[in-house]
Amino acid sequence: MEYLIFARKFRPQTFEEIVGQETITTTLKNAIRQERVPQSFLFSGPRGVGKTSTARILAKALNCKEGPTEKPCGKCISCKEIEQGNSMDVLEVDGASNRGIEEIRTLRENVKFKPSAGRYKIYIIDEVHSLTGDAFNALLKTLEEPPAHVKFIFATTESHKVPLTILSRCQRLQFKRISVPEAIEKLEKIAQKEKLKCEKNALFMIAKATEGALRDAESLLDQLASFSEGKIREEDVLTLLGLAPEEMYVSVLGAIREKKGDEIFGLVKKLYEEGADLAQFTKGLFEVFRHLLVLKTAPKAEALIETSAEMIAKLRKLAADFSQGELLLALSILQNLQIQLRRPVASPKLLVEASLLKLVYLDGLKSVESLIRGASSGQKSSSTAPGVEKKTLKPGIVINQVESPSYNTTKGRGFQKPSGEPETTLKAQTPRASFEEGLTLNEVERVWPQVIELVKAKRMSLSLYLAEAEPTEVEGSVIVLGLPSEFRFHKETLEKDLNKQVIEDAFAQALNKKVRVQCVVTERDGTTQEAAGNIAPVKDEGVPDIVSKALEIFDGSKVIRKD
Protein backbone atom coordinates (compact mmCIF):
# COMPACT_ATOMS: atom_id res chain seq x y z
CA MET A 1 0.00 0.00 0.00
CA GLU A 2 1.32 3.45 -0.90
CA TYR A 3 2.59 5.43 2.09
CA LEU A 4 0.73 8.64 2.88
CA ILE A 5 2.34 11.43 4.84
CA PHE A 6 0.54 12.52 8.00
CA ALA A 7 -0.62 15.81 6.46
CA ARG A 8 -2.58 13.87 3.81
CA LYS A 9 -3.49 10.83 5.86
CA PHE A 10 -5.10 12.89 8.64
CA ARG A 11 -6.53 15.65 6.48
CA PRO A 12 -9.95 16.75 7.84
CA GLN A 13 -12.95 15.41 5.93
CA THR A 14 -15.79 17.18 7.77
CA PHE A 15 -16.31 20.67 9.15
CA GLU A 16 -16.05 19.28 12.69
CA GLU A 17 -12.54 17.94 12.04
CA ILE A 18 -11.12 21.33 11.01
CA VAL A 19 -8.87 22.63 13.80
CA GLY A 20 -8.99 26.16 15.15
CA GLN A 21 -11.39 27.73 12.60
CA GLU A 22 -14.72 27.50 14.43
CA THR A 23 -15.96 30.90 13.25
CA ILE A 24 -15.45 29.99 9.61
CA THR A 25 -16.97 26.50 9.83
CA THR A 26 -20.00 27.89 11.67
CA THR A 27 -20.48 30.53 8.97
CA LEU A 28 -20.30 27.95 6.18
CA LYS A 29 -22.64 25.49 7.88
CA ASN A 30 -25.21 28.20 8.52
CA ALA A 31 -24.99 29.37 4.91
CA ILE A 32 -25.65 25.83 3.67
CA ARG A 33 -28.50 25.28 6.12
CA GLN A 34 -30.17 28.58 5.19
CA GLU A 35 -29.47 28.11 1.44
CA ARG A 36 -27.49 31.37 1.35
CA VAL A 37 -24.29 30.10 -0.29
CA PRO A 38 -22.68 32.89 -2.37
CA GLN A 39 -21.23 32.38 -5.84
CA SER A 40 -17.63 33.02 -4.82
CA PHE A 41 -15.49 32.79 -1.67
CA LEU A 42 -12.03 34.09 -0.82
CA PHE A 43 -10.23 32.03 1.84
CA SER A 44 -7.25 34.03 3.08
CA GLY A 45 -4.74 33.40 5.85
CA PRO A 46 -1.33 31.89 6.66
CA ARG A 47 -0.14 28.69 5.05
CA GLY A 48 -0.98 25.32 6.53
CA VAL A 49 -4.09 26.35 8.49
CA GLY A 50 -6.77 24.51 6.47
CA LYS A 51 -7.86 26.76 3.59
CA THR A 52 -7.75 24.12 0.84
CA SER A 53 -9.12 21.40 3.16
CA THR A 54 -12.07 23.63 4.01
CA ALA A 55 -12.65 24.32 0.32
CA ARG A 56 -12.82 20.58 -0.41
CA ILE A 57 -15.22 19.96 2.47
CA LEU A 58 -17.45 22.78 1.23
CA ALA A 59 -17.41 21.23 -2.24
CA LYS A 60 -18.45 17.88 -0.77
CA ALA A 61 -21.22 19.55 1.25
CA LEU A 62 -22.62 21.19 -1.90
CA ASN A 63 -22.36 18.15 -4.22
CA CYS A 64 -23.08 15.33 -1.76
CA LYS A 65 -25.89 13.00 -2.78
CA GLU A 66 -27.66 13.91 0.48
CA GLY A 67 -26.96 17.62 0.04
CA PRO A 68 -26.55 20.39 0.04
CA THR A 69 -25.82 19.43 3.63
CA GLU A 70 -23.56 20.67 6.40
CA LYS A 71 -22.61 17.03 7.09
CA PRO A 72 -21.54 15.35 3.84
CA CYS A 73 -21.87 11.58 3.98
CA GLY A 74 -18.40 10.79 2.64
CA LYS A 75 -19.74 7.58 1.11
CA CYS A 76 -21.44 8.63 -2.12
CA ILE A 77 -19.56 8.69 -5.42
CA SER A 78 -19.33 12.48 -5.41
CA CYS A 79 -17.82 12.66 -1.91
CA LYS A 80 -15.29 9.92 -2.65
CA GLU A 81 -14.21 11.50 -5.93
CA ILE A 82 -13.68 14.85 -4.26
CA GLU A 83 -11.65 13.25 -1.45
CA GLN A 84 -9.47 11.46 -4.02
CA GLY A 85 -9.08 14.60 -6.14
CA ASN A 86 -10.48 13.16 -9.37
CA SER A 87 -13.95 14.68 -9.50
CA MET A 88 -14.98 16.04 -12.91
CA ASP A 89 -17.14 18.69 -11.25
CA VAL A 90 -14.62 19.97 -8.67
CA LEU A 91 -11.55 21.38 -10.40
CA GLU A 92 -8.51 22.46 -8.37
CA VAL A 93 -6.34 25.01 -10.18
CA ASP A 94 -2.87 26.11 -9.08
CA GLY A 95 -2.88 29.87 -9.58
CA ALA A 96 0.93 30.03 -9.47
CA SER A 97 1.41 27.81 -12.53
CA ASN A 98 -1.80 28.74 -14.37
CA ARG A 99 -1.56 32.48 -13.97
CA GLY A 100 -1.87 33.74 -17.53
CA ILE A 101 -4.78 35.16 -19.46
CA GLU A 102 -5.04 32.12 -21.75
CA GLU A 103 -5.69 29.76 -18.83
CA ILE A 104 -8.42 32.05 -17.49
CA ARG A 105 -9.99 32.36 -20.94
CA THR A 106 -10.17 28.57 -21.08
CA LEU A 107 -11.80 28.56 -17.64
CA ARG A 108 -14.35 31.13 -18.81
CA GLU A 109 -15.32 28.90 -21.72
CA ASN A 110 -15.62 25.80 -19.51
CA VAL A 111 -17.89 27.40 -16.89
CA LYS A 112 -20.67 27.51 -19.49
CA PHE A 113 -20.99 23.72 -19.37
CA LYS A 114 -23.19 22.17 -16.70
CA PRO A 115 -21.70 19.72 -14.16
CA SER A 116 -21.45 16.13 -15.32
CA ALA A 117 -22.86 14.45 -12.21
CA GLY A 118 -22.92 16.79 -9.22
CA ARG A 119 -25.13 19.72 -8.38
CA TYR A 120 -22.50 22.39 -8.96
CA LYS A 121 -19.33 22.88 -10.94
CA ILE A 122 -16.84 24.16 -8.36
CA TYR A 123 -13.51 25.81 -9.13
CA ILE A 124 -10.92 25.90 -6.32
CA ILE A 125 -8.11 28.28 -7.32
CA ASP A 126 -5.17 28.09 -4.92
CA GLU A 127 -2.68 30.99 -4.55
CA VAL A 128 -5.04 33.16 -6.58
CA HIS A 129 -2.89 36.25 -5.90
CA SER A 130 -0.35 34.86 -8.40
CA LEU A 131 -2.66 35.57 -11.37
CA THR A 132 -1.54 38.35 -13.69
CA GLY A 133 -3.43 41.61 -13.99
CA ASP A 134 -4.82 40.58 -17.39
CA ALA A 135 -5.93 37.25 -15.96
CA PHE A 136 -7.81 38.99 -13.14
CA ASN A 137 -9.49 41.27 -15.67
CA ALA A 138 -10.54 38.27 -17.73
CA LEU A 139 -11.98 36.62 -14.63
CA LEU A 140 -13.85 39.72 -13.51
CA LYS A 141 -16.86 39.43 -15.86
CA THR A 142 -17.40 35.79 -14.96
CA LEU A 143 -17.37 36.63 -11.25
CA GLU A 144 -19.80 39.46 -11.78
CA GLU A 145 -22.44 37.36 -13.56
CA PRO A 146 -21.54 33.67 -13.07
CA PRO A 147 -23.83 30.85 -14.21
CA ALA A 148 -26.09 29.52 -11.46
CA HIS A 149 -24.39 26.12 -11.50
CA VAL A 150 -20.87 27.51 -10.80
CA LYS A 151 -19.15 28.24 -7.50
CA PHE A 152 -15.68 29.76 -7.09
CA ILE A 153 -13.47 29.23 -4.04
CA PHE A 154 -10.24 31.23 -4.07
CA ALA A 155 -7.45 30.59 -1.57
CA THR A 156 -4.50 32.89 -0.91
CA THR A 157 -1.79 33.65 1.62
CA GLU A 158 -1.42 37.21 0.34
CA SER A 159 -4.87 38.72 0.02
CA HIS A 160 -3.44 42.26 -0.27
CA LYS A 161 -2.25 41.32 -3.78
CA VAL A 162 -5.76 40.48 -4.96
CA PRO A 163 -7.39 43.43 -6.79
CA LEU A 164 -10.21 45.18 -4.99
CA THR A 165 -12.50 44.50 -7.96
CA ILE A 166 -12.13 40.78 -7.23
CA LEU A 167 -12.36 41.14 -3.43
CA SER A 168 -15.62 43.08 -3.70
CA ARG A 169 -17.27 40.18 -5.55
CA CYS A 170 -16.27 37.50 -3.02
CA GLN A 171 -17.35 36.60 0.47
CA ARG A 172 -14.08 36.80 2.36
CA LEU A 173 -13.23 34.43 5.23
CA GLN A 174 -9.99 35.07 7.15
CA PHE A 175 -8.30 31.97 8.56
CA LYS A 176 -6.20 32.36 11.71
CA ARG A 177 -3.04 30.66 12.90
CA ILE A 178 -3.49 27.49 14.91
CA SER A 179 -2.71 28.03 18.59
CA VAL A 180 -0.09 25.90 20.33
CA PRO A 181 -2.63 24.02 22.55
CA GLU A 182 -4.84 23.24 19.52
CA ALA A 183 -1.86 21.97 17.53
CA ILE A 184 -0.68 19.82 20.45
CA GLU A 185 -4.15 18.26 20.75
CA LYS A 186 -4.15 17.33 17.04
CA LEU A 187 -0.59 15.94 17.24
CA GLU A 188 -1.53 13.82 20.25
CA LYS A 189 -4.42 12.28 18.30
CA ILE A 190 -2.14 11.47 15.38
CA ALA A 191 0.50 9.97 17.69
CA GLN A 192 -2.15 7.83 19.37
CA LYS A 193 -3.44 6.49 16.05
CA GLU A 194 0.09 5.83 14.79
CA LYS A 195 1.13 4.25 18.13
CA LEU A 196 3.91 6.78 18.68
CA LYS A 197 5.28 7.56 22.13
CA CYS A 198 5.94 11.27 22.51
CA GLU A 199 7.19 13.37 25.36
CA LYS A 200 4.77 16.19 26.18
CA ASN A 201 7.45 18.85 25.86
CA ALA A 202 8.49 17.42 22.47
CA LEU A 203 5.01 18.00 21.06
CA PHE A 204 5.01 21.49 22.58
CA MET A 205 8.28 22.34 20.83
CA ILE A 206 6.96 21.00 17.49
CA ALA A 207 3.79 23.09 17.74
CA LYS A 208 5.70 26.21 18.78
CA ALA A 209 8.42 25.87 16.13
CA THR A 210 5.90 25.73 13.26
CA GLU A 211 4.34 29.09 14.28
CA GLY A 212 0.68 28.26 13.77
CA ALA A 213 1.00 26.15 10.59
CA LEU A 214 -0.63 22.84 11.50
CA ARG A 215 0.39 21.19 8.23
CA ASP A 216 4.04 21.94 9.03
CA ALA A 217 3.60 20.48 12.52
CA GLU A 218 2.14 17.28 11.08
CA SER A 219 4.99 17.00 8.57
CA LEU A 220 7.57 17.54 11.31
CA LEU A 221 5.94 14.87 13.49
CA ASP A 222 6.05 12.52 10.48
CA GLN A 223 9.77 13.20 10.04
CA LEU A 224 10.49 12.69 13.74
CA ALA A 225 8.61 9.38 13.68
CA SER A 226 11.22 8.08 11.23
CA PHE A 227 14.13 9.80 12.99
CA SER A 228 13.37 8.58 16.52
CA GLU A 229 12.08 5.06 15.71
CA GLY A 230 8.82 5.21 17.68
CA LYS A 231 9.93 7.27 20.71
CA ILE A 232 9.95 11.03 20.14
CA ARG A 233 11.93 12.89 22.79
CA GLU A 234 12.65 16.55 23.40
CA GLU A 235 16.30 15.98 22.44
CA ASP A 236 15.21 14.65 19.04
CA VAL A 237 13.29 17.85 18.27
CA LEU A 238 16.23 20.02 19.36
CA THR A 239 18.61 18.04 17.16
CA LEU A 240 16.38 18.04 14.10
CA LEU A 241 15.58 21.76 14.26
CA GLY A 242 19.01 22.91 15.45
CA LEU A 243 17.49 24.54 18.54
CA ALA A 244 19.10 25.26 21.89
CA PRO A 245 17.63 23.77 25.09
CA GLU A 246 15.96 26.03 27.65
CA GLU A 247 18.83 25.51 30.08
CA MET A 248 21.20 27.14 27.58
CA TYR A 249 19.18 30.36 27.61
CA VAL A 250 19.09 30.36 31.41
CA SER A 251 22.89 29.92 31.47
CA VAL A 252 23.36 32.81 29.03
CA LEU A 253 21.14 35.07 31.15
CA GLY A 254 23.13 34.14 34.26
CA ALA A 255 26.45 34.90 32.54
CA ILE A 256 25.13 38.26 31.33
CA ARG A 257 23.88 39.25 34.78
CA GLU A 258 27.10 38.16 36.53
CA LYS A 259 29.32 39.78 33.85
CA LYS A 260 31.15 36.55 33.08
CA GLY A 261 32.49 37.12 29.58
CA ASP A 262 34.52 33.91 29.65
CA GLU A 263 31.33 31.91 30.17
CA ILE A 264 29.75 33.65 27.18
CA PHE A 265 32.59 32.46 24.95
CA GLY A 266 32.29 28.94 26.35
CA LEU A 267 28.52 28.76 25.81
CA VAL A 268 28.71 30.04 22.23
CA LYS A 269 31.54 27.60 21.51
CA LYS A 270 29.44 24.72 22.83
CA LEU A 271 26.49 25.70 20.63
CA TYR A 272 28.75 26.06 17.61
CA GLU A 273 30.51 22.71 18.09
CA GLU A 274 27.23 20.85 18.68
CA GLY A 275 25.89 22.10 15.35
CA ALA A 276 23.16 24.37 16.71
CA ASP A 277 21.71 26.94 14.33
CA LEU A 278 23.03 30.26 15.69
CA ALA A 279 20.31 32.19 13.88
CA GLN A 280 17.67 30.07 15.64
CA PHE A 281 19.50 30.53 18.94
CA THR A 282 19.47 34.30 18.46
CA LYS A 283 15.76 34.20 17.65
CA GLY A 284 15.14 32.15 20.78
CA LEU A 285 17.19 34.51 22.97
CA PHE A 286 15.26 37.47 21.54
CA GLU A 287 12.06 35.73 22.59
CA VAL A 288 13.45 35.03 26.09
CA PHE A 289 14.21 38.74 26.63
CA ARG A 290 10.71 39.51 25.38
CA HIS A 291 9.36 37.09 28.00
CA LEU A 292 11.37 38.89 30.72
CA LEU A 293 9.89 42.22 29.64
CA VAL A 294 6.36 40.79 29.67
CA LEU A 295 6.91 39.38 33.16
CA LYS A 296 7.95 42.83 34.40
CA THR A 297 5.11 44.78 32.77
CA ALA A 298 2.03 42.55 32.34
CA PRO A 299 -0.18 41.56 35.32
CA LYS A 300 -1.19 38.23 33.74
CA ALA A 301 2.06 37.45 31.98
CA GLU A 302 1.62 33.65 31.82
CA ALA A 303 -1.22 34.00 29.31
CA LEU A 304 1.08 35.99 27.00
CA ILE A 305 4.09 33.64 27.10
CA GLU A 306 4.33 30.42 25.12
CA THR A 307 6.83 28.32 27.05
CA SER A 308 6.86 25.61 29.68
CA ALA A 309 5.73 26.29 33.25
CA GLU A 310 9.23 25.41 34.50
CA MET A 311 10.81 27.99 32.19
CA ILE A 312 8.33 30.66 33.29
CA ALA A 313 9.29 30.04 36.94
CA LYS A 314 13.00 30.41 36.11
CA LEU A 315 12.44 33.57 34.08
CA ARG A 316 10.35 35.12 36.83
CA LYS A 317 13.33 34.86 39.19
CA LEU A 318 15.71 36.32 36.60
CA ALA A 319 13.41 39.21 35.62
CA ALA A 320 14.18 41.04 38.85
CA ASP A 321 17.84 41.35 37.81
CA PHE A 322 17.06 43.45 34.73
CA SER A 323 15.50 46.89 34.42
CA GLN A 324 12.95 47.62 31.72
CA GLY A 325 15.44 49.91 29.99
CA GLU A 326 18.07 47.16 29.89
CA LEU A 327 15.58 44.70 28.45
CA LEU A 328 14.50 47.11 25.72
CA LEU A 329 18.12 47.82 24.81
CA ALA A 330 18.87 44.09 24.77
CA LEU A 331 15.97 43.52 22.38
CA SER A 332 17.36 46.23 20.09
CA ILE A 333 20.84 44.65 20.09
CA LEU A 334 19.46 41.17 19.37
CA GLN A 335 17.22 42.53 16.61
CA ASN A 336 20.28 44.04 14.91
CA LEU A 337 22.12 40.75 15.37
CA GLN A 338 19.38 38.87 13.50
CA ILE A 339 19.69 41.31 10.61
CA GLN A 340 23.48 40.85 10.55
CA LEU A 341 23.14 37.06 10.52
CA ARG A 342 20.99 37.19 7.38
CA ARG A 343 23.88 38.73 5.46
CA PRO A 344 26.96 37.92 7.53
CA VAL A 345 30.19 39.72 6.66
CA ALA A 346 31.96 37.88 9.48
CA SER A 347 31.62 34.48 11.08
CA PRO A 348 28.14 34.05 12.65
CA LYS A 349 29.93 32.77 15.75
CA LEU A 350 31.89 36.03 16.08
CA LEU A 351 28.77 38.13 15.53
CA VAL A 352 26.89 36.27 18.28
CA GLU A 353 29.83 36.55 20.69
CA ALA A 354 30.15 40.29 20.08
CA SER A 355 26.45 40.94 20.64
CA LEU A 356 26.33 38.87 23.83
CA LEU A 357 29.31 40.79 25.19
CA LYS A 358 27.40 44.01 24.53
CA LEU A 359 24.64 42.59 26.72
CA VAL A 360 27.18 41.84 29.45
CA TYR A 361 28.09 45.55 29.66
CA LEU A 362 24.59 46.98 29.47
CA ASP A 363 24.77 48.65 32.87
CA GLY A 364 27.93 50.48 31.84
CA LEU A 365 26.01 52.56 29.34
CA LYS A 366 24.74 56.05 30.11
CA SER A 367 21.39 57.38 28.96
CA VAL A 368 21.16 60.45 26.72
CA GLU A 369 19.22 62.25 29.47
CA SER A 370 22.04 61.79 31.99
CA LEU A 371 24.60 63.11 29.51
CA ILE A 372 22.45 66.17 28.82
CA ARG A 373 22.00 66.81 32.54
CA GLY A 374 25.75 66.51 33.06
CA ALA A 375 26.47 68.97 30.25
CA SER A 376 23.90 71.48 31.50
CA SER A 377 25.43 71.43 35.00
CA GLY A 378 28.85 72.41 33.66
CA GLN A 379 30.36 68.93 33.50
CA LYS A 380 32.46 67.99 30.54
CA SER A 381 30.45 65.87 28.15
CA SER A 382 31.92 62.41 27.69
CA SER A 383 30.42 62.23 24.20
CA THR A 384 32.95 64.78 22.89
CA ALA A 385 36.58 63.73 22.78
CA PRO A 386 39.43 66.21 23.48
CA GLY A 387 40.27 68.33 20.47
CA VAL A 388 36.81 67.94 18.94
CA GLU A 389 34.82 71.03 17.99
CA LYS A 390 31.06 70.54 17.42
CA LYS A 391 29.33 72.37 14.59
CA THR A 392 25.69 72.01 13.59
CA LEU A 393 25.06 72.07 9.84
CA LYS A 394 21.44 70.89 9.57
CA PRO A 395 18.75 69.92 12.07
CA GLY A 396 19.70 66.55 13.57
CA ILE A 397 23.18 66.46 11.95
CA VAL A 398 26.26 67.17 14.07
CA ILE A 399 29.69 67.51 12.44
CA ASN A 400 32.79 67.02 14.58
CA GLN A 401 35.93 68.74 13.32
CA VAL A 402 38.81 66.68 14.69
CA GLU A 403 42.14 68.48 14.62
CA SER A 404 44.55 65.94 16.12
CA PRO A 405 44.32 63.06 16.49
CA SER A 406 41.23 61.98 14.53
CA TYR A 407 39.31 58.89 15.53
CA ASN A 408 37.77 56.28 13.29
CA THR A 409 35.48 54.16 15.45
CA THR A 410 34.89 51.70 12.65
CA LYS A 411 37.91 49.59 13.44
CA GLY A 412 38.73 50.89 16.93
CA ARG A 413 41.99 52.56 15.79
CA GLY A 414 43.00 56.20 15.32
CA PHE A 415 43.25 57.53 11.77
CA GLN A 416 44.70 60.73 10.35
CA LYS A 417 44.43 62.18 6.87
CA PRO A 418 47.78 62.21 5.01
CA SER A 419 47.27 65.87 4.04
CA GLY A 420 47.00 66.91 7.67
CA GLU A 421 43.66 68.56 7.03
CA PRO A 422 40.96 68.16 9.68
CA GLU A 423 38.85 65.06 9.19
CA THR A 424 35.08 65.29 8.90
CA THR A 425 33.01 62.61 10.59
CA LEU A 426 29.23 62.25 10.29
CA LYS A 427 27.58 61.09 13.50
CA ALA A 428 24.27 59.26 13.08
CA GLN A 429 21.43 60.66 15.18
CA THR A 430 18.11 59.07 16.21
CA PRO A 431 15.61 59.61 14.72
CA ARG A 432 17.19 60.25 11.32
CA ALA A 433 17.20 63.80 10.09
CA SER A 434 14.99 65.31 7.42
CA PHE A 435 16.75 66.71 4.39
CA GLU A 436 15.78 69.04 1.58
CA GLU A 437 12.41 68.71 -0.10
CA GLY A 438 11.01 67.04 3.03
CA LEU A 439 12.41 63.59 2.09
CA THR A 440 13.67 61.39 4.95
CA LEU A 441 15.44 58.07 5.10
CA ASN A 442 12.46 56.63 6.97
CA GLU A 443 10.23 57.47 4.00
CA VAL A 444 12.66 55.78 1.62
CA GLU A 445 12.89 52.65 3.79
CA ARG A 446 9.10 52.50 3.98
CA VAL A 447 8.65 52.38 0.20
CA TRP A 448 11.78 50.27 -0.46
CA PRO A 449 9.87 46.94 -0.89
CA GLN A 450 7.45 48.70 -3.25
CA VAL A 451 10.35 50.09 -5.30
CA ILE A 452 11.83 46.60 -5.72
CA GLU A 453 8.44 45.29 -6.88
CA LEU A 454 8.07 48.14 -9.38
CA VAL A 455 11.54 47.44 -10.77
CA LYS A 456 10.75 43.73 -10.85
CA ALA A 457 7.67 44.40 -12.98
CA LYS A 458 9.78 46.26 -15.55
CA ARG A 459 13.04 44.33 -15.44
CA MET A 460 13.22 41.10 -13.42
CA SER A 461 17.01 40.70 -13.58
CA LEU A 462 17.60 44.25 -12.37
CA SER A 463 15.40 43.70 -9.31
CA LEU A 464 17.62 40.77 -8.26
CA TYR A 465 20.66 43.07 -8.18
CA LEU A 466 18.69 45.83 -6.46
CA ALA A 467 17.47 43.47 -3.71
CA GLU A 468 21.06 43.14 -2.45
CA ALA A 469 21.25 46.90 -1.80
CA GLU A 470 19.63 48.92 0.95
CA PRO A 471 19.01 52.66 1.46
CA THR A 472 21.72 54.09 3.70
CA GLU A 473 21.39 57.86 3.40
CA VAL A 474 19.33 60.69 1.90
CA GLU A 475 20.86 64.01 0.88
CA GLY A 476 18.32 66.43 -0.51
CA SER A 477 16.84 64.65 -3.51
CA VAL A 478 19.69 62.08 -3.72
CA ILE A 479 19.08 58.59 -2.32
CA VAL A 480 22.26 56.67 -1.48
CA LEU A 481 22.05 52.89 -1.88
CA GLY A 482 24.72 50.82 -0.14
CA LEU A 483 25.98 47.40 -1.22
CA PRO A 484 28.48 45.16 0.65
CA SER A 485 31.94 44.90 -0.86
CA GLU A 486 31.26 41.43 -2.25
CA PHE A 487 28.59 42.92 -4.54
CA ARG A 488 30.78 45.33 -6.51
CA PHE A 489 29.50 43.83 -9.78
CA HIS A 490 25.95 44.61 -8.67
CA LYS A 491 26.97 48.23 -8.06
CA GLU A 492 28.40 48.54 -11.57
CA THR A 493 25.23 47.08 -13.05
CA LEU A 494 22.94 49.37 -11.07
CA GLU A 495 24.95 52.44 -12.11
CA LYS A 496 24.40 51.91 -15.82
CA ASP A 497 22.35 54.80 -17.20
CA LEU A 498 19.36 52.76 -18.35
CA ASN A 499 19.22 50.73 -15.13
CA LYS A 500 19.56 53.81 -12.93
CA GLN A 501 16.72 55.47 -14.84
CA VAL A 502 14.43 52.50 -14.14
CA ILE A 503 15.27 52.67 -10.42
CA GLU A 504 14.76 56.44 -10.24
CA ASP A 505 11.41 56.12 -12.04
CA ALA A 506 10.32 53.49 -9.50
CA PHE A 507 11.28 55.77 -6.61
CA ALA A 508 9.42 58.66 -8.26
CA GLN A 509 6.29 56.54 -8.58
CA ALA A 510 6.50 55.29 -4.96
CA LEU A 511 7.39 58.64 -3.37
CA ASN A 512 5.59 60.94 -5.82
CA LYS A 513 8.85 62.91 -5.95
CA LYS A 514 11.60 63.12 -8.50
CA VAL A 515 14.84 61.80 -7.01
CA ARG A 516 18.32 60.75 -8.06
CA VAL A 517 20.06 57.53 -7.02
CA GLN A 518 23.70 57.02 -6.07
CA CYS A 519 25.29 53.63 -5.31
CA VAL A 520 28.19 53.09 -2.90
CA VAL A 521 30.11 50.08 -1.58
CA THR A 522 29.88 49.75 2.19
CA GLU A 523 31.86 47.91 4.79
CA ARG A 524 30.35 45.90 7.65
CA ASP A 525 29.15 48.91 9.66
CA GLY A 526 28.00 50.99 6.68
CA THR A 527 31.30 52.87 6.10
CA THR A 528 31.86 53.68 2.45
CA GLN A 529 35.10 52.20 1.24
CA GLU A 530 35.73 55.15 -1.04
CA ALA A 531 36.11 57.41 1.99
CA ALA A 532 37.95 54.94 4.16
CA GLY A 533 40.50 54.35 1.42
CA ASN A 534 41.77 57.95 1.64
CA ILE A 535 42.68 57.72 5.32
CA ALA A 536 45.87 56.22 6.69
CA PRO A 537 45.94 54.44 10.07
CA VAL A 538 48.00 55.66 12.97
CA LYS A 539 48.64 54.15 16.36
CA ASP A 540 46.14 53.93 19.21
CA GLU A 541 48.12 56.31 21.43
CA GLY A 542 46.15 59.39 22.35
CA VAL A 543 42.71 57.82 22.12
CA PRO A 544 40.77 58.78 25.27
CA ASP A 545 39.53 55.99 27.51
CA ILE A 546 35.91 56.98 26.98
CA VAL A 547 36.31 56.50 23.20
CA SER A 548 38.07 53.16 23.63
CA LYS A 549 35.31 51.96 25.95
CA ALA A 550 32.64 53.00 23.45
CA LEU A 551 34.47 51.18 20.66
CA GLU A 552 34.74 48.04 22.73
CA ILE A 553 31.04 47.99 23.57
CA PHE A 554 29.48 49.15 20.29
CA ASP A 555 32.05 48.05 17.70
CA GLY A 556 31.97 51.45 15.98
CA SER A 557 29.30 54.10 15.69
CA LYS A 558 30.65 56.70 13.24
CA VAL A 559 30.66 56.72 9.46
CA ILE A 560 33.76 58.15 7.82
CA ARG A 561 32.84 59.77 4.53
CA LYS A 562 33.92 62.41 2.05
CA ASP A 563 33.07 65.99 2.85
Three-state secondary structure string covering 72-87: CCCCCHHHHHHHHCCC
CB 33 within 8 A of CB 164: no
Render pLDDT for 287-302 as a digit per residue (tens, 0 to 9).
Answer: 999 999 999 888 788 8
Sorted by sequence, the CB contacts under 8 Å of residue 343 that are 6+ apart come out as: 484
Q: Which of 160-174, 339-353, 392-406, 472-486 has the lowest mean pLDDT?
A: 392-406
Q: CATH classification of 388-563, choosing from 3.40.30.10, 3.30.300.180, 3.10.129.10, 3.40.50.11540? A: 3.30.300.180
- State residue 364's pLDDT score: 61
Judged against a pLDDT cut of 80, whether residue 402 lies above it is answered with no
The DSSP 8-state label assigned to residue 199 in this structure reads: -
3-state helix, strand, coil in the chain (%, to 5): 50, 15, 35
Task: Say how far apart CA 136 and CA 100 lie, in whole Å.
Answer: 9
- State residue 383's pLDDT score: 45
CB 64 within 8 A of CB 95: no
Judged against a pLDDT cut of 70, whether residue 309 lies above it is answered with yes
- Please state, for a pLDDT cut of 90, what percent of the chain lies above it: 32
With respect to CATH, is domain 6-174 assigned 3.40.50.300?
yes
C-alpha distance across the termini of the chain, in Å: 74
Q: Which of 39-43, 342-346, 464-468 has the lowest mean pLDDT?
A: 342-346
Judged against a pLDDT cut of 70, whether residue 234 lies above it is answered with yes
Judged against a pLDDT cut of 90, whether residue 392 lies above it is answered with no
Q: CATH classification of 246-364, choosing from 3.40.50.720, 1.10.240.10, 1.20.272.10, 3.60.15.30? A: 1.20.272.10
Judged against a pLDDT cut of 90, whether residue 427 lies above it is answered with no
When pLDDT is cut at 50, 70 and 90, the band that residue 429 belongs to is very low
Judged against a pLDDT cut of 60, whether residue 436 lies above it is answered with no
CB 523 within 8 A of CB 485: yes
Mean pLDDT of 156-181: 92
Q: Which of 192-206, 237-251, 530-544 has the lowest mean pLDDT?
A: 530-544
Judged against a pLDDT cut of 60, whether residue 390 lies above it is answered with no
CATH class for the region spanning 180-241: mainly alpha
Render pLDDT for 54-110 as a digit per residue (tens, 0 to 9).
Answer: 999 999 999 999 879 999 988 899 999 998 888 899 999 888 888 888 888 888 888
Compute the C-alpha angle 19/23/25, nearest 5°.
Answer: 65
- Helix 348-360 to helix 324-342 angle (10° resolution) is 170
Q: Phi then psi for 531, rounded to 5 degrees?
A: -75, -40
- State residue 206's pLDDT score: 92
Task: Say how far apart CA 359 and CA 260 lie, in whole Å.
Answer: 11
CB 285 within 8 A of CB 315: no
Amino acid at 180: V
- State residue 18's pLDDT score: 93
Task: Say how far apart CA 268 and CA 511 lie, in whole Å.
Answer: 44
Helices and strands (DSSP H and E) totals, the chain:
24, 17
The chain-wide mean pLDDT, for the chain, equals: 80
Task: Say how far apart CA 193 and CA 198 lie, in whole Å.
Answer: 12
Task: Say how far apart CA 109 and CA 104 lie, in whole Å.
Answer: 9
Mode of pairing for the β-strands spanning 40-44 and 171-174:
parallel
Domain boundaries, the chain: 6-174, 180-241, 246-364, 388-563
CB 61 within 8 A of CB 70: yes
Task: Say how far apart CA 482 and CA 469 lie, in whole Å.
Answer: 5
Residue 539 in 3-state DSSP?
coil
- State residue 64's pLDDT score: 92
Judged against a pLDDT cut of 70, whether residue 379 lies above it is answered with no
Judged against a pLDDT cut of 60, whether residue 406 lies above it is answered with no
Task: Say how far apart CA 460 and CA 404 lie, in whole Å.
Answer: 50
Q: Provide DSSP, 345-401.
A: SS-HHHHHHHHHHHHHTGGG---HHHHHHHHHTTPPPTTS-TTEEEEEEETTEEEEE
- State residue 218's pLDDT score: 92
Q: Which of 37-51, 170-184, 478-492 has the lowest mean pLDDT?
A: 478-492
- State residue 157's pLDDT score: 92
Q: Which residue has the higher pLDDT, 416 or 31?
A: 31
Mean pLDDT of 200-216: 89
